[in-house]
Amino acid sequence: MEKNTYSMFNISDEIIKLSSEVENEINEQVKKIDEVALFNQAKVLKAFNEAKLSQMHFGKTTGYGYDDIGRETIEKIYAKIFKAEDALVRIGFVNGTHTLATALRACLMPNDRLLAISGKPYDTLCEVIGINQNPLSLISYGVKYSQIDLDDRGNIKIDEVCEFLKSNDVKMIHIQRSKGYAIRKSIEIDDIKKAIFKIREIKKDIIIMVDNCYGEFVEEKEPVEVGADLVCGSLIKNIGGGLCEIGGYIVGKQKYIKLCSEILTCPGIGKECGATLGQNKNILQGLFMAPSTVKNAMKSAIFASRIFEKMGYEVYPKYSEKRSDIVQAIKFGNEKDLVAFIQKIQELSPVDSHVVPYPWEMPGYSNKVIMAAGTFVEGASIELSADSPIREPYVAYMQGALTYESAKLAICYAASSIEKGE
């Protein structure tokens, strides 16, 4: 039976054998993932019940979108789940970068200083901040920027951060939970907690923002619970559960959410406007699915990690290491194998499997990027996807899968093709 399944995609006997070995080895991790998913599902369900979610919230508004009760309920539910004072959950956010840019622009005025303490922020933020030149960047507006890199083991250099805060006036701190296009580990909630505690000892009212992209529902806690003021993310990643078609969220302190809403829309309008065009049901049903979808993504990540490790590749993280995001990095070391892996993942995608991805100049990125994204929602990286900037050390970043089964087939297929040298 098993063999027949795999033979539909010409997966080799060696990889079939390896796959079943790997599934035995990852058992213990899978159990932990199941427990976290159960806890997060309970959290989501409880929030839905408390908000008395009902059919009427799935309705559609157009135009200004005044009194959109569905939108208001969504924001109440997000605030509950994240244990935040307030939330801004909007289809007007075009992506995760837009939420982060909104939070930064809402809080920083000319001469204020932003300090990034988990190293260089995600590629697309470099132009927002002005690390890469743009006439509308924060730096162009007179915001000052400083950065403290992670140490060799991927930890926040908290002592250095504290020293910096003592001798500089810093308005806002940026922490990125997920690895982005870097082979560092993701930053665990517990480590974010420790860092925030030390920072607050020195400067109580500093604004701490966490880039939560790829992090939602990977652990039992989220960054607001350990003291973050603003937490941002994309609805076409974890929290959208694969059903959201567009959007982003910011949760946190009410006074900052108000500022964010006035940057997203306009001063004086803020959260009051924003038609939802019939997307409320997708946002809510996606949120309901998200703990389970993230579970599938996590299982797929550790499965890929172990299989490629056994094939002799460096993988980050290893299957048994603790994780705070859904991203699995596999180092190929050269452009050819990296591109081959990504193309193979595309070949076993549900959408556009016949299309071959090539590296291209993506807006917001300074290197060429190749992406396997055979997804129902364009670019949704909670669906199985693999991407990489074309630069040393040629690492594929794989994430997602709506179902573990589809990821398992695609990973085995890619592994099999690479093993055969196809």
Ligand X SMILES: *Cc1c(COP(=O)(O)O)cnc(C)c1O
* Residue ranges that bind ligand X, judged by CB under 6 A: 95-97, 122, 124, 176, 178, 180, 211, 213-214, 234
> Which of 240/270 has CB closer to ligand X?
240
- Give the nearest distance from C-beta 211 to ligand X in angstroms: 5
> Which of 70/96 has CB closer to ligand X?
96
- Give the nearest distance from C-beta 204 to ligand X in angstroms: 27
> Which of 11/369 has CB closer to ligand X?
369
- What is the distance between the alpha carbons of residues 330 and 308, in angstroms, rounded to a whole number? 7
DSSP 8-state secondary structure symbol assigned to residue 238: G
- What is the distance between the alpha carbons of residues 327 and 315, in angstroms, rounded to a whole number? 11
- Give the nearest distance from C-beta 146 to ligand X in angstroms: 19
> Which of 178/403 has CB closer to ligand X?
178
- What is the distance between the alpha carbons of residues 14 and 6, in angstroms, rounded to a whole number? 11
The answer to whether the CB of 260 falls within 8 A of the CB of 230 is yes
88: which strand partners? 250
Pairing of strands 369-372, 86-90: unpaired
Q: 329: closest CA among 261, 264, 396?
A: 396
The answer to whether the CB of 84 falls within 8 A of the CB of 252 is yes
- Give the nearest distance from C-beta 378 to ligand X in angstroms: 11
- What is the distance between the alpha carbons of residues 100 and 402, in angstroms, rounded to a whole number? 25
- What is the distance between the alpha carbons of residues 14 and 399, in angstroms, rounded to a whole number? 24
The answer to whether the CB of 369 falls within 8 A of the CB of 339 is no
- Give the nearest distance from C-beta 50 to ligand X in angstroms: 29
Closest residue to ligand X: CB criterion = 96
- Give the nearest distance from C-beta 123 to ligand X in angstroms: 8
Task: Report the amino acid identity of residue 230.
Answer: L
- What is the distance between the alpha carbons of residues 46 and 381, in angstroms, rounded to a whole number? 27
Burial category of 159 from C-beta neighbours within 10 Å (exposed 0-12, middle 13-18, buried 19 and up)? exposed
> Which of 29/234 has CB closer to ligand X?
234
- Give the nearest distance from C-beta 383 to ligand X in angstroms: 13
- Give the CB-side neighbour count of residue 300, counting CA atoms within 13 A: 31
> Which of 381/417 has CB closer to ligand X?
381
> Which of 122/217 has CB closer to ligand X?
122
> Which of 70/180 has CB closer to ligand X?
180
- Give the nearest distance from C-beta 74 to ligand X in angstroms: 19
In angstroms, what CA-CA distances link 158 with 21, 155, 165, 182, 360? 41, 8, 10, 20, 38
Q: What angle do helix axes 69-82 and 27-50 make, rounded to 10 degrees?
A: 130
Give the pair of three-digit tokens for residue 322.
């603790």
- What is the distance between the alpha carbons of residues 255 and 182, in angstroms, rounded to a whole number? 33
> Which of 71/184 has CB closer to ligand X?
184
Secondary structure (3-state) at 172: strand
- Give the nearest distance from C-beta 36 to ligand X in angstroms: 20
> Which of 121/274 has CB closer to ligand X?
121
- Give the nearest distance from C-beta 237 to ligand X in angstroms: 6
> Which of 77/327 has CB closer to ligand X?
327
Q: Tell me the CA end-to-end span of the chain in Å, nearest whole number.
A: 26
